[in-house]
Structure 1
Amino acid sequence: MDHEHSGRLLDEDRTSQDIELADLDGQSDRLIREEQPHPDAPIPAVPKTKASYIAIAIALIVTVIGFTVNTEATAYFEDVLGWKKPFCTMYITHSSLCIPWFCHLLWSRYKDRQMPYKAWVRDYNNQIRQTVASVDAYATSGSYLVIKKKGHTGGPLDFLASTMAIVTVVLTISGLSWFASLALTTPSDLTAIYNCSTFFAAAFSVPLLKERLGWLAIAAVAISIIGTFTIAYGDSTSEHEANAIGGSRLIGNLIASVGAVAFGLYEVLFKKWACSSKPMAPAASLPLTFAASALTGIYTFSTLWVGLIVLHITGVETFEVPSAYVCLWIFIGVMAGCLSINLLMVLVVWTDPVFGSMANVLSVFFVALADWFVFGLKPSIATYVGGAMIFVAFVLLTKHTLGESKH
């Protein structure tokens, strides 16, 4: 922790502990020139070191496993055990996004347990403020995004709270389509359609993040989408239609398409508003990433319970207390989803939204295999062909993202 900077940010004579937007008005152009040599340069990734690559690899592997477990567990307790409550499932899963933040806080406090509690809180808050203050969007457009009383300006925490509220709305749209379509289509179909979010993440990255997509990235996105659709539609549909899983594929796939657009936008907005514009070591970026993700969980928990009541009263989705066995599978699915979404955002911050989306793409092949073991939907040759294409796309995108300098 940089205690010299901490002292300046939390001067005892200040009436506010935030770095206000007004303080940056005269410096924003200079700060942007210093941090980004070219106005169209992409937001930097983590420093290119062996430790960073290892951290990225571990996060990617765990994310793929998490998405696979989440998809299969959710399909199991909805389609097999009969607890089809997509809105409630989404509510629980997105509300749980704050759990990694709480765990990170406990771990941070344990490491600094010798430090007085107030001093530890001050340093932690100061670290978050410093990181948010280094986000380009805070200096350039924070005044438009922060909701404050007339005559007041907002600080980094105000900016974070306002932007994550917008991100929560986008994630909610994506989540609703995910859980609604999962009850109508097969897990492999859903994963395939949803992975079109890679394309939309790439498309949104160009205007919002000023990314310059090279031919490797474009080719990787195209190959990955072809591969996912090969897996989804290369199999015989008769097997799916004869099974209780995925009986309404067309409607489910259309709903999933809306979620694909929203999820691609979610990744890009998170990168734009919750990622420092300065290269940082992987561990140094975690506090802001977890805090930002936790805000989406807190917003979800504190607001969307109203939807549960409305849906119950109208009979659209009546709430039923699940059995202990169903609760076990809900817990498994929710924890897997919570972990995978948080780590996905970690990957987005460490690399870029397109590479982060590749975690979703990689899960397609493994979800198809899991469908075989869990639901008896035996994969055809198309599954293996599509899987091979996805791995080729992953290699190309890895070379583009990690093999070239990002700043």
Structure 2
Amino acid sequence: MIEHQQLNLPPHLQKKSPVPYFIRTTIFVTCALTIAGGSWYVAVDLTTASDLTAIYNCSAFFAYAFAIPLLHEKLRWSKVFAVGVAIVGVLVVAYGDKGAPKHGSKSGGGAGGPHAPENDEAENRALGNLVIGVGSVLYGFYEVLYKKVACPPDGCSPGRGMIFANTFGSLMGTFTLLVLWIPIPILHVLGWETFELPTGKTAGILLVSVLANATFSGSFLVLISLTSPVLSSVAALLTIFLVALCDQILPPPLYQPLTGAAIAGGVLIIAAFLLLSWATYREMDEERKKHAEEIAPESDDDEDL
């Protein structure tokens, strides 16, 4: 059903094994996500936190740009405006209060990332901005790619879509566990990056982080499956404001004051999400009515016969 985007398959396709398609798609989509997410961790030491937050979270724009040719979405100015408002909100958060600590940006998994060190004299800033710019494009491409090659066709029940979204997320995790660990010992032996097993408090924090991100990633894939990559990408921007709110309950020195820019940017992002949700709902409702009108004449013809 997913490979051919058809609900009713002919008999010769029903006998075909889905395993080769699952393997190819899992490798392709997981590599796209890994490269996009890895760019965040490469760029974090090269550029400033403000640039990192602003550029990477422009992936919502690129998700819409890729959705038009790949998913054949119509160019709707209401969606363009909503995405633009969301990006403005991110810019306000990133650059609104110069000299104030910045809040975490979106990480590779789409959730609120770790805090990036603010360094006005960041070395290789242009290179870092280029790296995170490529990552932003690839993350938008990953979202659309998942919708195109790993989501059930239109008309599939929401329950089946949710089940398969988590199934595919598990396949991505399996590929990561079996294959993507290979560079770790190589980097360790070469001395490029030293790795140690986490212990004590660090291990506990990592466990909480893993569980939280697993919950986010599963929900994120379900949202893409049931709605669109554009709405999901803008929804992920809400994590920026949530990180700012969570900072209020952290003890010093992790505590960061809630600035006016964080509040204003958060309000803009929330407004953009509501606007885009409404635009997406109207679009889905129009498609539903159109589909019902196409079926109605066929039913009338059957009754006449």
Identify the TM-score tier after normalising by the shorter chain: 0.7 to 0.9
What is aligned with 2:223? Answer: 347
Aligned partners of 1:252 and 1:245: how far apart in 2? 13
* TM-score with structure 1 setting the length: 0.58
* Percent of residue pairs bearing the same amino acid type: 37
Letter in 2 for 1:231: V
Q: Tell whether the 8 Å contact from 1:191 to 1:364 is kept in structure 2 after alignment.
A: no
CA pair 302-341 structure 1, distance change in 2 beyond 3 A? same
Shift of residue 330 of structure 1?
0.8
- SS of the residue corresponding to residue 305 of structure 1 reads coil
- Describe the superposition over 1:295-346 as per-residue Cα deviations: whole angstroms up to 9, x where unpaired: 2111111112210011101111111122210001111111111221121111
Q: Verify: 1:210 aligned to 2:210, yes or no.
A: no
Distance 1:384 1:277, change over 3 A: same
For residue 389 of structure 1, what is the aligned residue in structure 2?
Answer: 268
Q: Deviations over 1:347-382 (max 9, x none)?
A: 001000001112211112122333454433324322
Match for 1:175 among 34, 37, 54?
A: 37
Name the CA distance, whole Å, in 2 between partners of 1:339 and 1:180: 25
Matches within 5 A, 1:200-239: 200-237=62-99, 239=101
Assess if the C-alpha contact under 8 Å between 1:208 and 1:272 holds in 2. yes
State how far apart, in whole Å, the 2-side matches of 1:328 and 1:187 are.
Answer: 26
- Paired residues of 1:192 and 1:364 also in contact (CA < 8 A): no
CA distance in 2, matches of 1:339, 1:315: 34
Matched, 1:362 2:238: yes
> Higher RCO, 1 or 2 (CA under 8 Å, sep at least 6)?
1
TM-score (norm 2): 0.76
Q: Hey, which of these two has a bigger chunk of helix by percent?
A: 1
Question: Which whole-Å CA distance do the structure 2 matches of 1:400 and 1:135 have between them?
Answer: 25
1:259 is displaced (CA, Å) by: 2.0
SS at match of 2:216: helix
Q: Please tell me whether the aligned partners of residues 57 and 136 of structure 2 are also in contact (alpha carbons under 8 angstroms).
A: yes
The 5 Å alignment of 1:37-56 reads: none
Distance 1:174 1:322 in 2: 25
1:214 maps to amino acid: R
Following TM superposition, by how much is the alpha carbon of 1:277 offset from its aligned partner in structure 2, in angstroms?
Answer: 1.7
Say if 2:113 is the partner of 1:263: no
User: Any stretches of 5+ residues in structure 1 without a counterpart?
Assistant: 1-130, 144-152
Once residues 406 and 311 of structure 1 are traced to their aligned partners in structure 2, the CA distance between those partners, rounded to angstroms, is 52
User: Counterparts of 1:71-110 in structure 2 under 5 Å?
Assistant: none
Alignment of 1:7-406 (within 5 A): 131-132=1-2, 135=5, 155-182=17-44, 190-237=52-99, 239=101, 245-247=117-119, 248=122, 250=125, 253-374=129-250, 375-404=254-283, 405=285
For the aligned residue pairs, the C-alpha RMSD in angstroms reads: 2.8
Whole-Å Cα distance in 1 between the matches of residues 246 and 131 of structure 2? 23
Indicate conservation of the 8 Å contact 2:235/2:273, yes or no. no
Cα distance 1:255–1:226, how it changes in 2: closer, same or farther (>3 A)?
same
Amino acid at match of 2:270: F
Shift of 1:278: 2.8
